[in-house]
Amino acid sequence: MSRIVYINGEYVPEEEARVSVFDRGFLFADGVYEVTSVLDGKLIDFAGHAARLERSLGEIEMASPVSGEELAEVFRELVRRNALTEGMVYLQITRGADRDRDFDCPVPELVPPTVLAFTQTKNVVGNPAAKTGISVITIDDLRWARRDIKTVQLLYPVLGKKMAKDQGKDDAWMVEDGVVTEGTSNNACIVREGRIITRDLSEKILHGITRKAVLAFAREAQMKVEERPFTVDEAKEADEAFITSASTFVMPVIEIDGARIGDGKPGPVATRLREIYVEESRKSAI
């Protein structure tokens, strides 16, 4: 059975889904996206993803083509039609396809946006990497200055992951002005003397929906949280490190640039936060 995807109001088999060669997402990366995880066939933190989508669209001066309710309906229908129990729903909205390649933004009334969504199966909870932890390298953060907008312009993260893989490592953390910004597709956290430290929110990082939930759960569990920049040296000397994202939840990091973190195994804070995140997300999934 082929996967059913959503494209501009229709549910079609993936082989039949078509996007124009003039689509601005394809030609200019002129679009935004969201990844929402699915557990037990239900959406995790849908409201957070819908709110960030609305914000990203606003920042690139696009009107939202779908309401939050409509989007929830589309996501649920995709999950249902594809009998997805665990994985993700990917959503992409671009400024549509004009008749030519033209830098000027088309008039929205004449050129409708492209709205595309599809499901992906993934073992998120039982991901074996959560048991071993992952290794990261550090690289210069060479992305544009508005990383708070979740655009489909992901060339540098793609290259960052490739640099890591070429060195036999799992992922990369990006560094700017001597401090860590975030991972290629995740937020970076370290733990020192029981305190969770992660970069403060600004235009320099994506405001992770998982980061927000995890920090709230940590505070509820009486853990101390510090939202501030940290250096690579501070990270290397940390007791623990981990990343957060919708597709990895809380994932322990056990090596940074070849330096072992803690005892080289997933630490108690990351392990506990992962458990809490899964437990609480299951409860509030819709």
Annotated catalytic residues are 150
User: What six digits make up the tokens of 174?
Assistant: 């990006």
Closer of 51 and 111 to ligand PMP (Cβ): 51
From 31, 87, 208, 262, residue interacting with ligand PMP (rule: CB under 6 A) = 208
User: What six digits make up the tokens of 286?
Assistant: 């819709």
**Contact criterion met (CB below 8 Å) for 195 and 227:** no
From 209, 238, 251, 276, residue interacting with ligand PMP (rule: CB under 6 A) = 209
From 43, 84, 206, 256, residue interacting with ligand PMP (rule: CB under 6 A) = 206
The distance of closest approach from Cβ of residue 20 to ligand PMP in the complex, given in angstroms and rounded to an integer, is: 25
The SS3 assignment for 62 reads coil
Residues 10-29 that bind ligand PMP (CB under 6 A): none
8-state DSSP, 170: S
Instruction: Provide the phi-psi class of 9: left if phi over 0, else alpha when psi is between -120 and 50, else beta.
Output: left
Residue 244 binding ligand PMP, by CB under 6 A: yes
Among 79-87, 106-114, 241-249, 266-274, the segment contacting ligand PMP (CB under 6 A): 241-249
Residue 271 binding ligand PMP, by CB under 6 A: no
Among 97-105, 209-217, 231-239, 268-276, the segment contacting ligand PMP (CB under 6 A): 209-217
Nearest 5 degrees, angle CA 39-CA 205-CA 241? 65
The total number of residues written for the chain in this structure: 286
Please report, as a single letter, which amino acid is at residue 176.
Answer: E
Residues 29-48 that bind ligand PMP (CB under 6 A): 35
Q: Which residue has the tokens 């490190």?
A: 241
Closer of 50 and 74 to ligand PMP (Cβ): 50
The distance of closest approach from Cβ of residue 148 to ligand PMP in the complex, given in angstroms and rounded to an integer, is: 10
From 43, 246, 273, 276, residue interacting with ligand PMP (rule: CB under 6 A) = 246
The distance of closest approach from Cβ of residue 244 to ligand PMP in the complex, given in angstroms and rounded to an integer, is: 6
Q: How many residues bind ligand PMP (CB under 6 A)?
A: 13
**Contact criterion met (CB below 8 Å) for 209 and 202:** no
- 12 half-sphere exposure, CB direction, 13 A CA radius: 11
Please report, as a single letter, which amino acid is at residue 265.
Answer: K
- Taking residues 164 to 203 in sequence order and writing x for each that binds ligand PMP by CB under 6 A, - otherwise, the string is ------------------x--xxx----------------
Number of neighbours of residue 236 by Cβ within 10 angstroms: 17
Rounded (to 5) percent helix, strand, coil in the chain: 30, 30, 40
The distance of closest approach from Cβ of residue 139 to ligand PMP in the complex, given in angstroms and rounded to an integer, is: 13
Closer of 95 and 150 to ligand PMP (Cβ): 150
CA distance 216 to 213: 5
User: What six digits make up the tokens of 21?
Assistant: 């060669």
User: What six digits make up the tokens of 15?
Assistant: 């082989």
Q: Which residues sit at the interface with ligand PMP, rule CB under 6 A?
A: 35, 182, 185-187, 206, 208-211, 244-246
